[in-house]
């Protein structure tokens, strides 16, 4: 699990452990945490705090993945999580967005005709695709919007740039600064990636005083508590191909 700062890490770990996010809502007992047979919490999770921005996020994620593999305990899922800016009106303050795509939104060149991304320039790709079924399952469990999350190196601070991003990425839910870096590292290691963002501020004119960070951190923790089960199942070896839980027959099993 990768975050930019320690406050985000603590919120996610509290949620995954099924404990109340500091100042937040205790998760109801039937929803959080792993089921019998799932790995323990939080020992099954390595939390990596990388610092802000895609480069730091890529370096920190790559280092953790490489070390884990060298030590014979490879990871099976990378979760990039934190707060982010929400695109109005899809993602209001305090809501949560699960990435359907993780898009490098300002990796490219400015031209007389506007921004051209590196894929259009012929240099690789500007998007990573989380496993669609898993992203949808996590979004459903968390009560989150499933939508593209943009990665930017510069926080949007004007209405003009917000409108430009929204026009170039219809349906975008959120922007943040680490997802694409984390996803690049995960892709090179062959490990699936998810991104979850809780909205602390609208994408638009800069008003740092209006950021609602504590509320977003609570929403992030609550979302991770609600989605802990599919997240832990996917993080097991063979992730996503889940064994039926005791007492719950596999689909299609005669009763
Ligand atoms: O000051 C604090 O207590 C605090 C606690 C948690 C996180 C922070 C951050 O400032 C983290 C920076 C982080 O936030 C993401 N972010 C949030 N809003 C936006 C946005 O509108 N556009 C881009 N990124 C955003 C980003 O991923 C940064 O890493 C402070």
The ipTM estimated for the assembled molecules is 0.92
Taking the mean position of all CA atoms in its chain, how far away is CA 17? 17
Nearest to 174 by CA among 77, 78, 103, 117: 103
What does the block give as tokens for 39?
Answer: 């790995």
Which regions of the chain does DSSP assign to beta strands (E)? 2-3, 48-49, 78-86, 96-104, 108-111, 114-117, 127-128, 145-151, 174-176, 193-202
Q: Which atom of ligand 1 is nearest to the CA of 211?
A: 18
3 CB less than 6 Å from ligand 1? no
Give nearest CA residue, ligand 1 atom 6.
Answer: 7
CATH superfamily of 2-235: Nucleoside phosphorylase domain (3.40.50.1580)
Which residues are CB-contacts of 15 (< 8 A; sequence separation ≥ 6)?
Answer: 21, 27, 32, 220, 221, 222, 223, 224, 225, 226, 228
Residue 236: DSSP 8-state: S
| Residue 225 Cα to ligand 1 middle (Å) | 21
213 CB less than 6 Å from ligand 1? yes
| Residue 152 Cα to ligand 1 middle (Å) | 12
| Residue 83 Cα to ligand 1 middle (Å) | 6
What does the block give as tokens for 7?
Answer: 């406050």
Q: How far is CA 152 from CA 23, 94, 188, in A?
A: 29, 20, 20
Residue to probe by mutation, ligand 1, list 173, 175, 176, most atoms within 8 Å of CB: 176
| Residue 216 Cα to ligand 1 middle (Å) | 10
C-beta of residue 96 within 8 angstroms of C-beta of residue 143: yes
Written as tens digits, the pLDDT of the chain (255 aa) is: 999 999 999 999 999 998 655 555 444 433 344 444 444 444 589 999 999 999 999 999 999 999 999 999 999 999 999 999 999 999 999 999 999 999 999 999 999 999 999 999 999 999 999 999 999 999 999 999 999 999 999 999 999 999 999 999 999 999 999 999 999 999 999 999 999 999 999 999 999 999 999 999 999 999 999 999 999 999 998 875 443 333 333 333 343
Distance, in Å, from the CA atom of 191 to the CA atom of 188, rounded to the nearest integer, reads 8
4 CB less than 6 Å from ligand 1? yes
177 CB less than 6 Å from ligand 1? yes
Q: How far is CA 230 from CA 118, 157, 166, 209, 218, in A?
A: 34, 35, 30, 35, 20
């Amino acid at each position: 699990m990768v975050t930019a700062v320690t406050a985000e890490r603590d919120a996610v770990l509290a949620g995954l452990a099924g404990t109340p996010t500091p100042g937040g809502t205790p998760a109801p007992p039937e929803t959080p945490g792993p089921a019998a047979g799932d790995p323990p919490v939080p020992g099954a999770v390595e939390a990596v705090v990388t610092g802000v921005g895609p480069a730091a996020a890529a370096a920190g994620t790559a280092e953790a993945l490489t070390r884990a593999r060298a030590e014979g305990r490879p990871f099976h899922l990378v979760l990039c999580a934190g707060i982010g800016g929400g695109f109005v009106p899809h993602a209001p303050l305090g809501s949560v967005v699960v990435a359907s795509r993780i898009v490098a939104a300002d990796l490219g060149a400015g031209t007389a005709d506007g921004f051209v991304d590196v894929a259009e320039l012929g240099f690789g790709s500007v998007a990573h695709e989380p496993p669609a079924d898993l992203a949808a399952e996590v979004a459903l469990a968390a009560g989150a919007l499933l939508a593209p999350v943009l990665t930017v190196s510069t926080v949007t601070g004007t209405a003009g740039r917000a409108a430009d991003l929204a026009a170039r990425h219809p349906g975008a839910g959120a922007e943040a600064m680490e997802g694409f870096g984390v996803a690049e590292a995960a892709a090179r290691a062959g490990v699936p990636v998810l991104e979850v963002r809780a909205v602390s501020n609208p994408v638009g004119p800069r008003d740092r005083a209006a950021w609602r960070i504590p509320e977003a951190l609570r929403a992030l923790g609550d979302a991770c508590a609600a989605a802990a089960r599919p997240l832990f199942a996917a993080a097991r070896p063979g992730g996503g191909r889940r064994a039926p839980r005791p007492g719950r027959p596999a689909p299609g099993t005669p009763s």
